[in-house]
Amino acid sequence: MDRECVRSVLWPFANTIRKMTSIMSERPFQSRKPRFQRPQGKRQGRRDPQAWRPPHEIDTTILYGWHPVVEALRNGKRTIRRLLATENSLRRLQEENVPLPFEPEMVRPDEINRLLEPDAVHQGLYAEADPLRSPSVETLSGERLVLALDQITDPHNVGAIVRTAAAFDVEAIITTARHSPAATGVLAKSASGGLEHVPFMIVKNLGDTLNALGERGFQRIGLDSEGDANIDELQLRMPLVLVLGSEGKGLRQRTRECCDAIGRLDMPGAIKSLNVSNAAAISLFAVTKAAAKSRKA
């Protein structure tokens, strides 16, 4: 269609087109909003685990759950700074005659939820406390077994090891300042109160600490899948420190060099490797049994 034809078709509407053009030119430009739009800002409801931050001091020990908090309340060496309890939990504390250093703050369960990481199971009890006093190489008696952890980072595993260590009357657990979880929160919950019975000894260098224990007469036994002999076959004596490595890497080379012997766990089944907390339980049983025999000999 040529220009003359277009003009002849639009000519009857010329006045209308001019009026519309004039009106549109006077209106400010506005972009059309989409019909459906993603809501802005943070999503309400479920909390983002990455965004959560603890609302307390770094050096404060956080305890939650029935057993961790109750054992802390019964521990005369533990100083409690804050105690929160739901109505049902407070009633149970009173029924079981759990000693209370002061009147707990009565709260709703969701108020404790806001103080903890998402999905934490607090059972209506929450406490903030001072860390327990740590032993040193010089203060270890040597009459009870000592456990050393070589960069085991998972707090659930370490907590389970603490619980087992408490059952076997371990004197202390040695961990490194780096690449080890803090003795608080998830670790304390997994330990189920064991944290009150087995103190942590935090050191800068595990190898140097093992050497210092060796100078004091401690036998240093490492546990590794590539060990020299089954742990039952080793000649064990007290005082003794049992050294456990991480699940993936095992014992570091320097740590191995600082041990007097490396034992292993020979498993009869198809699966030869164990979770480190399970390996700790079996090895603690074997070492405790062997140490008891050496005392009688």
**pLDDT per residue over 133-160, tens digit each?**
999 999 999 999 999 999 999 999 999 9
* Per-residue DSSP letter, 250: B
Query: What is the rounded (10 degree) CA torsion for 289, 292, 293, 297?
Result: 170
Q: What is the pLDDT of residue 2?
A: 56
The domain spans of the chain are 61-129, 146-296
Helix axes 66-74, 87-95, angle to 10 degrees: 50
Q: What is the pLDDT of residue 225?
A: 84
Question: Is residue 215 within 8 Å of 122, Cβ to Cβ?
Answer: no
**Position 240 confidence tier, pLDDT thresholds 50, 70, 90:** very high
Average pLDDT of the residues in 267-283: 90
The b-or-e profile of 233-262 (16+ CB within 10 A means b, else e) is ebebebbbbbbbbbbeebbeeebbebbebb
**Position 252 confidence tier, pLDDT thresholds 50, 70, 90:** very high
Place of tokens 């993603």: 38
Question: Is residue 64 within 8 Å of 189, Cβ to Cβ?
Answer: yes
Does the pLDDT of residue 54 top 50, yes or no? no
Name which residue leads in pLDDT, 39 or 215.
215
- List the beta bridge partners of residue 113: none
CA distance 280 to 265: 10
For residue 227, how far is the Cα from the chain centroid?
28
Q: Give all strands of the β-sheet with 125-129 in edge-to-edge order.
A: 61-64, 125-129, 80-85, 105-106
Question: Is residue 90 within 8 Å of 123, Cβ to Cβ?
Answer: no
User: What is the DSSP pairing of strand 261-264 with strand 219-223?
Assistant: parallel
CA distance 148 to 219: 12
Residues 163-218 have pLDDT tens digits of 999 999 999 999 999 889 998 999 999 999 999 999 999 999 999 999 999 999 99
CA distance 192 to 72: 10
Average pLDDT of the residues in 275-289: 93
Please work out, in degrees rounded to the nearest 5, the angle formed at the alpha carbon of residue 149 by the alpha carbons of 290 and 265.
45
* Assigned fold of 146-296: Alpha/beta knot (3.40.1280)
CA distance 101 to 233: 49
State which H helix or E strand residue 63 sits in: strand 61-64
Question: For residue 37, what are its two tokens?
Answer: 């739009």
Q: What is the pLDDT of residue 76?
A: 93
Question: Is residue 194 within 8 Å of 225, Cβ to Cβ?
Answer: no
Residues 1-17 have pLDDT tens digits of 555 555 565 555 556 55
CA distance 288 to 239: 11
Q: What is the pLDDT of residue 16?
A: 59
For residue 220, how far is the Cα from the chain centroid?
27
CA distance 236 to 283: 12
Question: For residue 263, what are its two tokens?
Answer: 């034992």
Number of helices and strands in the chain (H, E): 10, 11
Does the pLDDT of residue 69 top 60, yes or no? yes
CA distance 169 to 284: 10
Mean pLDDT taken over the chain: 85
**Position 274 confidence tier, pLDDT thresholds 50, 70, 90:** confident
**Position 270 confidence tier, pLDDT thresholds 50, 70, 90:** confident
Q: What sign results for the dihedral spanned by CA atoms 230, 231, 237, 239?
A: positive
Residues 109-124 have pLDDT tens digits of 999 999 998 889 999 9
